[in-house]
A and B are shown apart, each in its own frame.
Chain A
Amino acid sequence: MNAREAILSALRRAAPPRVPLPDAAPGIVYPDPERQFAEVLAGVGGKFVRVPDLAALNFELGKVEAYARAKQVASLVPGAGIATVDLSAVKDPHELDGLDFSIIPGEFGVAENGAIWIPGSTLGPHRAVFVVCQHLAIVVPAGQIVSNMQEAYARLVIERPGYGLFISGPSKTADIEQALVIGAHGARSCTVFVVG
């Protein structure tokens, strides 16, 4: 008997009595999801910027010091920022080591935790683009903020095969004496632009 069969048959033999699979009751709903999102995002070290259109976005982006200083910029949002790196020409994600600033699209946000759902297909050829950069900006269309994760999963589609993730704020750690440090391995800052 191979390992697979041995394990599965052991689990079948040991199975407890069947109980039904419950569905969760609806979760908390915020009267103003965008406001809740902005508050929570700030609480987790992110920045929330609300703009009416791409032009305003670029204006605000110019005020972000990390972007202004950035030498290598990648953008997966047409019209947002001025990319200096052509991601389609990059053969190997290791070449992105020097990436200062990445601008990526987000599909929707979650108010209860400041998270943005990013489908993998929108990250271009190298998914590392959101984590190797020193600073990150995520662009989300307005009116796309759900209240909680249960609503999020009712809405999102997992690409199969594929990839997707929630990003909530910048990379962080508190492993040294519980002292919060922003910018562990991933982005040192995370600015979310809600546009429209």
Chain B
Amino acid sequence: MDHAKSAARFAADEARTHWHDQALYSLRGKRDRAAATIPEWEQLRETAARVKEHTLSRLAEYLEEFERNARKNGIQVHWARDGEEHNAIVHGILARHGATRMVKSKSMLTEECHLNPYLEARGIEVVDTDLGERIVQLAEDPPSHIVVPAIHRKREEIGELFHRTIGTAAGLSDPKVLTEAARQHLRQKFMGAQAGLSGVNFAIAETGGFVVVTNEGNADMGTSLPPVHIACMGVEKVIPRARDLGVFLRLLARSATGQPVSSYTTHFHGPMRGGELHVVIVDNGRSQSLASEVFRRSLSCIRCGACLNTCPVYRRSGGYSYSYLIPGPIGSVLGPQRDPAAHASLPFASSLCGSCTDVCPVKIDLHHELYAFRQVLVEKGLVPLHKRIAMAILGSVLSRPWAYRLAGRLLRWIVPRLPRWLAYGPWNAWGKQRELPPMPKESFRDLVGKEPP
């Protein structure tokens, strides 16, 4: 999938694109207003960045500490090298309990591992309980945003979807009514579930527990009724101490949606009475990212989605224009690390404006990583040959003053003399929606000699 082509298709419906753009920009606005209430906001970002940097420099130690303390709390800890191992472990736990109905709260990691289809193929019903996730699940779509997965859907479409899949009345579109319908529908699922699966926002090494945050309460509902709770985390989710949460939790919800904090911030430090609590720790390429001096910073990501909301390109192209499951700036850095060939268009799906870097609560230098990735892709031969040849020629011309001057003079002489249909032919991508710049007779170089000293 080439982002440029997909984005052009998305943007062809300009009215809808502006609607999508405005919806996401409003999240950026909410974030700005929330951040402005905290005078020490920039210091918090700096502290969060350095806590993450420190943690990444001792990741193995902290994971061992976490495991030790988690075990003391009665939590069973599993390790998975990749998605396949992760899926097998989760399935194994469910199979041991004879569980065939599982509810799930948001976890991009499980998307990454393709857990749902794996379990469904083995006869297990997996119900995503976050409203946005449930909507895309019913629609058989992937999420288009990591925090608001159904942001690309209009209310009438959701009404029609619910009518088709969960039997609500036709023609509904009031978000309150639709949410109420989802509440009733999912309450049945919560009550009937035999296991609950959650992601992990932060795993605390010092205390051997982990934190899950939601606004809906779906992680709490899904893990306080069934006797089995499975929590899945990437290796990078561990943080050193409980007090570090004080910093991250002040940044997370404000960055994501502009709220001061999520409705529920739950600290799991052991199974329920008579229950089991499992944590699956997953690598799946993260240790390779850690090894990269340029791209290891992307492991600091706390999945707030602020970079998506602020990205002028994501807002106008939507999550489905990105080949990786996580779209936007962070996805365009994570995807190519996982599979450079499959995601080669993503580092170029950016004007490098840098807004993402300025909103990132953990100060990942996203736009610099996108720029650096372009270099990596060229070195790996994943940039089309004709583009590399064009750049080589351009570089050659520009490094020779005589060639540069000649080329400039020729350009300025020829272009005004071309008939319009030729100057603005299909070869001219610039000219599709823009006039070419004026072609003056004399360059600065020609004129500067006539200036008084």
Which 5 residue pairs are nearest across A and B when measured between Cβ atoms?
Answer: A186-B217, A161-B270, A113-B260, A184-B216, A14-B291
Interface flags for B21-35 (1: CB within 8 Å of A; 0: not) read: 001001100000000
Distance in Å: Cβ of A174 to nearest Cβ of chain B: 7
Contact A7 B79 (CB under 8 A): yes
Contact A184 B240 (CB under 8 A): no
Contact B40 A165 (CB under 8 A): no
Which of B111-119, B245-253, B334-342, B396-404 forms part of the interface with chain A? B245-253
Contact A160 B269 (CB under 8 A): yes
Chain B residues with Cβ below 8 Å from A160 are: 69, 72-73, 207-209, 269-270
Contact A166 B148 (CB under 8 A): no
Knowing that A167-B263, A185-B217 are A-B contacts, what are 9 other residue pairs whose CB atoms are under 8 Å apart, sorted by A's residue number? A15-B56, A28-B39, A40-B260, A112-B37, A162-B269, A164-B266, A177-B151, A184-B131, A185-B187
Interface flags for A119-157 (1: CB within 8 Å of B; 0: not) read: 000000111101110000000000000001111111000
Does A86 interact with chain B (Cβ within 8 Å)? no
What are 8 A-to-B residue pairs whose CB atoms are below 8 Å? A13-B287, A28-B40, A113-B259, A148-B246, A149-B249, A161-B269, A174-B148, A176-B131
Question: Which residue on A lies nearest to B282, using beta carbons?
Answer: A7
Chain B residues with Cβ below 8 Å from A89 are: none
Does B58 interact with chain A (Cβ within 8 Å)? yes
* Number of residue pairs spanning A and B whose beta carbons lie under 8 angstroms apart: 277
A22 to B113, alpha carbons, bound, how many Å? 33
Contact B270 A131 (CB under 8 A): no
A22 to B127, alpha carbons, bound, how many Å? 40
Question: Which residue on A lies nearest to B19, using beta carbons?
Answer: A177
Does A169 interact with chain B (Cβ within 8 Å)? yes
Which of B90-98, B219-227, B352-360, B439-447 forms part of the interface with chain A? B219-227
Known contacts A44-B263, A113-B260: A165-B135 contact under CB 8 Å: no
Partner of A25, one of B43, B57, B263, B288: B43
A154 to B63, alpha carbons, bound, how many Å? 23
A150 to B251, alpha carbons, bound, how many Å? 12
Question: Which residue on A lies nearest to B257, using beta carbons?
Answer: A174
Known contacts A28-B40, A167-B264: A185-B207 contact under CB 8 Å: no
Contact B224 A15 (CB under 8 A): no
Partner of A187, one of B57, B179, B217: B217
Within 8 A of B (CB), among A1-55: 2-4, 6-25, 27-28, 40, 43-44
Contact A154 B267 (CB under 8 A): no
Known contacts A7-B79, A185-B186, A185-B221: A165-B129 contact under CB 8 Å: no
Which of B46-54, B311-319, B325-333, B428-436 forms part of the interface with chain A? B46-54
A128 to B447, alpha carbons, bound, how many Å? 79
A13 to B57, alpha carbons, bound, how many Å? 11
Contact B148 A15 (CB under 8 A): no
Q: Report the contact-size class of chain A (Cβ under 8 Å from the partner).
A: 35 or more
Chain B residues with Cβ below 8 Å from A131 are: 217, 220-221, 224, 264
What residues of chain A have their CB less than 8 Å away from a CB belonging to chain B? 2-4, 6-25, 27-28, 40, 43-44, 93-94, 97, 110, 112-115, 125-128, 130-132, 148-154, 158-179, 181, 183-187
A159 to B74, alpha carbons, bound, how many Å? 13
Interface flags for B217-249 (1: CB within 8 Å of A; 0: not) read: 110110011000000000100001011011101
Distance in Å: Cβ of A182 to nearest Cβ of chain B: 9
Known contacts A160-B269, A162-B270: A128-B224 contact under CB 8 Å: yes
Does B175 interact with chain A (Cβ within 8 Å)? yes
A173 to B180, alpha carbons, bound, how many Å? 11
A12 to B250, alpha carbons, bound, how many Å? 30
A153 to B190, alpha carbons, bound, how many Å? 31
Known contacts A19-B54, A21-B51, A158-B209: A176-B270 contact under CB 8 Å: no
Distance in Å: Cβ of B118 to nearest Cβ of chain A: 17
Partner of A150, one of B64, B247, B265, B291: B247
Contact B175 A177 (CB under 8 A): yes
Contact B148 A175 (CB under 8 A): yes
Contact A159 B269 (CB under 8 A): yes
A94 to B60, alpha carbons, bound, how many Å? 40
A165 to B291, alpha carbons, bound, how many Å? 35
Contact B221 A132 (CB under 8 A): yes
Contact B131 A175 (CB under 8 A): yes
Contact A175 B130 (CB under 8 A): yes
Interface flags for B143-159 (1: CB within 8 Å of A; 0: not) read: 00000111101110010
Partner of B57, one of A18, A179, A185: A18
Chain A residues with Cβ below 8 Å from B250 are: 27, 112, 148-150
Distance in Å: Cβ of A73 to nearest Cβ of chain B: 19
- From B39, B217, B235, B287, name the one whose CB has the most chain A CB atoms within 10 angstroms: B217
Chain A residues with Cβ below 8 Å from B269 are: 158-164
Distance in Å: Cβ of B285 to nearest Cβ of chain A: 10
Contact A177 B23 (CB under 8 A): yes
A130 to B266, alpha carbons, bound, how many Å? 12
A40 to B216, alpha carbons, bound, how many Å? 18
Chain A residues with Cβ below 8 Å from B215 are: 171-174, 184
Does B85 interact with chain A (Cβ within 8 Å)? yes
Known contacts A168-B260, A186-B217, A186-B220: A28-B38 contact under CB 8 Å: yes
Known contacts A171-B217, A176-B150: A149-B266 contact under CB 8 Å: no
A162 to B269, alpha carbons, bound, how many Å? 5
Contact A113 B261 (CB under 8 A): yes
Chain A residues with Cβ below 8 Å from B135 are: 175-176
Contact A176 B178 (CB under 8 A): yes
Contact A178 B72 (CB under 8 A): no
Distance in Å: Cβ of A96 to nearest Cβ of chain B: 9
Distance in Å: Cβ of A29 to nearest Cβ of chain B: 11
